Amino acid sequence: MPQPALKLKDSKPGAAGSSVLLGTRTEIFPSSPLPDFANPNVPAFMARLKDDAASDLVAYVCTGALPGRFDIVNGMRNIDHPAVLRLVDSGVVSWPDGVRYGTLVYRRPLAPRFMRSLDETRAPLNEDTINRYFVTPMIGALTEFLRTGIVHGAIRTTNIFWQAGSTASPQLGECLTLPPGIGQPALFETIERGMTMPSGRGPGHHTDDCYAFGVMIALLVLGHNPFKGLDDHAVVQAKMERGSFNAIIGHHRLSPTHSELLRGLLTDDPRQRWTAADLDQWLGGRRLTHKSSDADRRASRHIEFAGHEYWQVRSLANALANHVPEAARLIGNGTLDKWLRRSLGDEDKADDLADAVASIKEGGKIGNYEDQLVARACIALDPRAPIRYRGLSIMPAGVAGLLVEAIVTGGNVQNLLDIIDSQLVIFWVDMQKEMKTELVPLAQQFERLAGMVEKTSYGNGVERATYELNPAIPCLSPMLRALYVTSVRGLLPALERVATSSARARDPMDRHIAAFLVVRDRKSELLFDAMSSPDNAPRRALAMLTLYADMQNRHGPESLPGLAQWLLPLIEPSLKRYFGKSLREGLQKQIRDTAERGNLGALQQIVDNPQRLQRDEQEFIAARLLYLSILKEINALEGKMANRDSVVDSVGAPLAASISGFIALAAVMFAIGRAVWTSF
């Protein structure tokens, strides 16, 4: 169930009719929606530049749960082509509902949306119109995308703005407000991406855009959707069995130009598929060779599985993934191996299958054995296909997007963690026959991620993997989701706002914030070790204070009274480390006063002063020794008082003897003196 963005009840909503400001340049009007330009789950609103009242802009506000593709905004700004919507501004806006959203502002399209539904039937456009208004400008757009390294991912007939009779070229709709693959029907995706869950498709490649362009041209030529009424699974199945070109075009007669163009674009072999560079050459008149048929290799005998007959390995792999127990049996009893070698005549594939089985046995005891076995077998049978595991169907590059979706919607991340942990991605990379060197960084990244997700301490786990794989997403902490924190600099001001709101949790720290800081600020994981232990609350609180004090010092702001007051009840117990009562009370007063000023560094110096701690400890030890010696003295005196006779004997009697001695001496001296005197 998707979770709505959290709201901060203390935010002040704008008055009806007023605008909200994006940065310093752009005004957006929340009361003026533009439904014609909206995307699925992404509303559009009127906008204009502050210093240009005549500017006609459209703002897309990402109010949905999934974050947009803000990591490629800079690349998109560099594209200035008539066939591509011009990106004017981007950033985070405070919406009247009190939530902050990522927002993208474009020049308003010159024409309305060309089609609202794929199932619309229109008169086929003639070749000249298609070539002039679609082929040539779109090739230019694709060239721009290739130049900037951007994959559009949303090229489809319902994302084009054009009107028949217009002299302007069509404009491709925006592609940044949703993660790649979301909202793109399987019709416009390659077979591999069509098999993949929308949120697990990943950014894709330039050749995927070329394929989508080819499908778009095909639909314009046909005037209708050849797969109308079929679901995505049936569309993919048809493409697998007959090849994309044959499945889409069917028996329709194409002009030689379009036939060549569409065969080049719709080939299912990505190595053979035309790129923008090939299209440019083709426009220039150069003729390029292409494969005649993309249909999957057919076996001489079928194999029966789950009540169906299968002649091709791709469609069989698809079926195996959907019937795991039966598939495990088929693999285990050697039936599949025999079919591959004898009926399909593909020894390489049979060897790959054997490698897949061996790889899972090498790993020793493994959880979800059958699922792992079938997942690996499917990769071996169809390496270009997505990883299919326990209901998930994802491209390795799509793990990033799927993690985010699972977190924001409260979905189950365990299967994704299994994929990372059990090195299925690395196995998938190993099985790729082409572009393997390009995939090495991906494999290395997932090797590192496997180590991270195993650890449960703060700064690791699924949260760490999410931020490592998604460099541009905001912090997904439930406390901060409404504030769209994308940078480390923005974290403390956001926490300051949360401190005085109902979204405030017990601690100003959670696993998401920790992972966000580890990844974006390159903080050491050791700093967060203390935060993983709920038992040692004072140590945890001091670690938080140290971290935030350092961040305040580096990034500001100067005063964070809300955050300081939030931390106060957490750090006060650490004053118990001081033994001196009056010292403790004095420090308590000091930290309360300092918290009001919001200086976290000063707070830290008061609470965590090693010299003061050491001095206090030494004085306490001395006080204890003094206490003991006083007790001893009291005991001795009380013992003495209890035995009066011994005092008399030990003190009184000797003193009496001394007094007597003095008197006796005096008397004797007197006697002797008197005797001497009288003798004179």
Cβ of residue 390: shortest distance to other proteins, in angstroms? 45
Nearer to other proteins, 535 or 558 (CB): 535
Residue 288 is a binding residue for other proteins (CB under 8 A): no
In the chain, the amino acid numbered 382 is: D
SS3 call for 40:
coil
d(C-alpha 102, C-alpha 92), whole Å? 4
Among candidate residues 463, 154, 93, 144, the one with its CA nearest the CA of residue 279: 144
Cβ of residue 384: shortest distance to other proteins, in angstroms? 59
Residue 577 is a binding residue for other proteins (CB under 8 A): yes
Residues listed for the chain: 680
Residue 620 is a binding residue for other proteins (CB under 8 A): yes
Cβ of residue 666: shortest distance to other proteins, in angstroms? 8
CB neighbours (10 Å) of residue 113? 17
Cβ of residue 531: shortest distance to other proteins, in angstroms? 18
Q: What angle do CA 89, 93, 94 make, to 5 degrees?
A: 165
Q: And the tokens for 253? A: 């007669």
One character per residue 524-563, x = contact with other proteins (rule: CB under 8 A):
----------------------------------------
Q: Hey, which residues does 92 pair with through a beta bridge?
A: 102
What does R_g of the chain's alpha carbons equal in angstroms? 39
Question: Of 284, 307, 641, 677, which one interacts with other proteins (CB under 8 A)?
Answer: 641
Residue 650 is a binding residue for other proteins (CB under 8 A): yes
Cβ of residue 628: shortest distance to other proteins, in angstroms? 9
Q: And the tokens for 569? A: 């009840």
Residue 348 is a binding residue for other proteins (CB under 8 A): no
Q: What angle do CA 512, 518, 519 make, to 5 degrees?
A: 90
Question: Of 167, 300, 582, 611, which one interacts with other proteins (CB under 8 A)?
Answer: 582
Residue 664 is a binding residue for other proteins (CB under 8 A): yes
Q: Which range in 161-169, 390-398, 424-432, 578-586 contacts other proteins by CB under 8 A?
A: 578-586
CB-based contacts of 535, cutoff 8 Å, min separation 6:
none
Cβ of residue 659: shortest distance to other proteins, in angstroms? 6
CB neighbours (10 Å) of residue 557? 11
Nearer to other proteins, 505 or 657 (CB): 657
Question: Of 51, 638, 677, 680, which one interacts with other proteins (CB under 8 A)?
Answer: 638
d(C-alpha 231, C-alpha 170), whole Å? 28
Residue 505 is a binding residue for other proteins (CB under 8 A): no
Residue 611 is a binding residue for other proteins (CB under 8 A): no
Cβ of residue 657: shortest distance to other proteins, in angstroms? 4
Residue 631 is a binding residue for other proteins (CB under 8 A): yes
Cβ of residue 629: shortest distance to other proteins, in angstroms? 10
Cβ of residue 569: shortest distance to other proteins, in angstroms? 15
Cβ of residue 595: shortest distance to other proteins, in angstroms? 21
Residue 277 is a binding residue for other proteins (CB under 8 A): no
Q: Which range in 193-201, 357-365, 453-461, 668-676 contacts other proteins by CB under 8 A?
A: 668-676
Question: Of 434, 573, 594, 601, which one interacts with other proteins (CB under 8 A)?
Answer: 573
| Residue list 117-156, contact with other proteins (CB under 8 A) | none
Residue 569 is a binding residue for other proteins (CB under 8 A): no
Residue 656 is a binding residue for other proteins (CB under 8 A): yes
- Given a contact cutoff of 8 angstroms between Cβ atoms, the answer to whether 495 and 508 are in contact is yes
- Residue 424: exposure state from Cβ atoms within 10 A (0-12, 13-18, ≥19): buried
Q: Which range in 383-391, 413-421, 435-443, 659-667 contacts other proteins by CB under 8 A?
A: 659-667
Nearer to other proteins, 333 or 629 (CB): 629
Among candidate residues 76, 75, 67, the one with its CA nearest the CA of residue 103: 67
Among candidate residues 574, 561, 570, the one with its CA nearest the CA of residue 600: 561
Question: Of 110, 626, 677, 680, which one interacts with other proteins (CB under 8 A)?
Answer: 626
Residue 82 is a binding residue for other proteins (CB under 8 A): no
Q: And the tokens for 609? A: 């002063």
- Residue 357: exposure state from Cβ atoms within 10 A (0-12, 13-18, ≥19): middle
Q: And the tokens for 219? A: 């639909």
Question: Of 284, 506, 675, 680, which one interacts with other proteins (CB under 8 A)?
Answer: 675
Q: And the tokens for 137? A: 């400008």
Residue 13 is a binding residue for other proteins (CB under 8 A): no
d(C-alpha 135, C-alpha 169), whole Å? 10
Question: Of 9, 253, 365, 581, which one interacts with other proteins (CB under 8 A)?
Answer: 581
Torsion on CA atoms 45, 46, 49, 51, rounded to nearest 10: -140
202 dihedral zone (left: phi>0; alpha: psi -120 to 50; beta)? left
CB neighbours (10 Å) of residue 128? 8
Cβ of residue 463: shortest distance to other proteins, in angstroms? 30
Residue 585 is a binding residue for other proteins (CB under 8 A): no
Residue 608 is a binding residue for other proteins (CB under 8 A): no
CB-based contacts of 594, cutoff 8 Å, min separation 6:
564, 602, 603, 606
Nearer to other proteins, 52 or 619 (CB): 619
If you write DSSP's letter for every residue of 546-570 in order, what string do you get?
A: HHHHHHHHHH--S--HHHHHHHHHH
Cβ of residue 616: shortest distance to other proteins, in angstroms? 10
C-alpha neighbours within 13 Å on the C-beta side of residue 141: 25
Among candidate residues 80, 270, 285, 43, the one with its CA nearest the CA of residue 178: 43
Which residues contribute to the site for other proteins (CB under 8 A)? 573, 576-577, 579-582, 617, 620-621, 623-624, 626-627, 630-631, 633-634, 637-638, 640-641, 644, 647-657, 659-661, 663-665, 667-668, 671-672, 674-675, 679
